[in-house]
Structure 1
Amino acid sequence: MQPTYFINHGGGPCFFLEPGPMRARCHELEVRLTAILVISGHWEEPRATVNDGATPPLLFDYSDFPAPTYELTWPAPGAPEVAARVKALLAATGIDSGSDSTRGWDHGVFVPMKVFLPDADISVVQLSLQRGLDPKAHLAIRRALRPLRTEGVLILGSGQTYHNMRGIMRGRTPVPDAEAFDGWLRAAMAHPETRNDALTV
């Protein structure tokens, strides 16, 4: 069974990340990957929506960065057949979903993936969050998609626990609310037996 990962993708096109540790994770996987399913914090829809395009472009959904960061490329193929499998698994548990074949991969996908898989040699599918971010709804999606992990699909979450890029870029100390939330999340995730209950309180 494939593991699941969550990657803090930093702010915009932050390519100061060292690629070594992230790339090394590929060698820890139990079987060869068939695809990667990415859930990015930068895509929300009224219902869970799958990008089922065969060759999604890059969506430069950031601003005020140097010009070369808008010329980046990462030509990994999409995986329409995996996208269809995602929709089928969701439907089997009564979860309504949509599809989008024209949307590009936002920076929550291509920033970490360009570091994690610079050769762009594995198919990628993106799944949106549901608008409103209801924890119970997203835990239900997690349960529905669990079979993918036995089918060679790596599930990857991409985002940050707290988002204040202006504060981070100016070197400000974390605000109390951010520290409190991060502490609560760490505590909740550290106890698998009570994790689901803690996340849906």
Structure 2
Amino acid sequence: MLPTFFIAHGTPSLVIEQHAYTEFLQKLAKSIPTPKAIVLFSAHWESPVQTISSAIHPEMIYDFSGFSEELYAIKYPARGDLTLSLHIEQLFQDEGIRCELDDERGLDHGVWAPLHIMYPDAQIPVVALSVNPRLTAEEHYRIGAALGPLRDEDVLILGSGGTVHNVRRLDRNNPVPQVWAVEFDEWLAEQLETWNLEALLRYDERAPNVRVAVPTPEHFVPLLLALGAADGARRAKLLHHSFQMSTLSLCCWMFGGIKKS
């Protein structure tokens, strides 16, 4: 049984950066058993209906502008897994979760940027999943929980987004984290480490500085989805935490743990 993870994907340039966080992601992939497939909820794929990628050879999506031309040359030729996509569809349907398949959607940078760092050979099949920021936190948790059985099938479930993610507050000239950003992540860590669902599912009401830390929810909800997928274990561990540009949180949370079958 594999754990689930929430991974911050930072800015698109993360994929060509070299620092403590990128080194951590490289080591993380080597520290866990090689999965049969990867299922990833991306903050950069928003859809009103829970959507499952089913393309056999998903194309690259360069969903950004103003970054180095080097990024547009990056390829991540991971194949899809239609059998797994159909299995996920059934898991959602079994829980009464409306969903649909998309055989045209490619891989956005919320998918390929962290995976290019973690699994650069792109030999592991990838199924991307959308997020719907308009759902409640409880609904996100329930969607994640529906995929819990995949952990027993050696499928790695990832949520790719960011906890503190406010592009208007980035300061490229200031490496020192802002107090409000640190306070938000510290509150979140306390709730995750105690699996305090009452607080976590009301984060938008209870967390300090939530309006500035999470001005829009699409980057935060992948954490709730990954959390829900480990509902059967209810253990959380912070594996890495750092900041870029004063307010961009780069963290990785592990939910559940590795169990030998």
SS at match of 1:42: strand
Structure 2 equivalent of residue 198 of structure 1: 199
The letter for the 1-side match of 2:199 is: A
Is 1:187 the equivalent of 2:190?
A: yes
Deviation of the 1:175 alpha carbon: 5.5
Deviation of the 1:13 alpha carbon: 2.5
Deviation of the 1:166 alpha carbon: 5.0
Where does 1:22-37 land on structure 2 (aligned, <5 Å)?
Answer: 22-30=25-33, 32-37=34-39
**Hey, what's the Cα distance between the residues in 2 that align with 1:79 and 1:65?**
31
The letter for the 2-side match of 1:28 is: S
Q: Which ranges in structure 2 are unaligned for 5 or more consecutive residues?
A: 203-261
Deviation of the 1:130 alpha carbon: 1.7
Report Cα offsets for 1:81-104 as digits up to 9, x if no partner.
111111110100111111211111
Deviation of the 1:61 alpha carbon: 0.6
Where does 1:5-154 land on structure 2 (aligned, <5 Å)?
Answer: 5-14=5-14, 15-18=16-19, 19-30=22-33, 32-154=34-156
The letter for the 2-side match of 1:137 is: E
Deviation of the 1:169 alpha carbon: 4.9
**Hey, what's the Cα distance between the residues in 2 that align with 1:162 and 1:134?**
19
Deviation of the 1:168 alpha carbon: 2.8
Deviation of the 1:176 alpha carbon: 5.8
Deviation of the 1:152 alpha carbon: 1.0
SS at match of 2:13: coil
Contact 1:57/1:105, CA 8 A, preserved across alignment: yes
Deviation of the 1:162 alpha carbon: 2.0
Contact 1:13/1:107, CA 8 A, preserved across alignment: no
**Hey, what's the Cα distance between the residues in 1 that align with 2:114 and 2:80?**
16
Identify which of structures 1 and 2 has the higher relative contact order when contacts are C-alpha pairs closer than 8 Å and 6+ apart. Answer: 1
**Hey, what's the Cα distance between the residues in 1 that align with 2:87 and 2:136?**
23
Q: TM-score, normalised by structure 2?
A: 0.70
Instruction: Supply the RMSD in Å over aligned alpha carbons.
Output: 1.9
**Hey, what's the Cα distance between the residues in 1 that align with 2:4 and 2:74?**
27
Structure 2 equivalent of residue 4 of structure 1: 4
**Hey, what's the Cα distance between the residues in 2 that align with 1:28 and 1:179?**
28
Contact 1:11/1:165, CA 8 A, preserved across alignment: no
Q: Which ranges in structure 1 are unaligned for 5 or more consecutive residues?
A: none
Bigger shift: 166-175 or 44-53? Answer: 166-175
Contact 1:10/1:160, CA 8 A, preserved across alignment: yes
**Hey, what's the Cα distance between the residues in 2 that align with 1:33 and 1:12?**
25
SS at match of 1:13: helix
The letter for the 2-side match of 1:100 is: D
SS at match of 2:76: coil
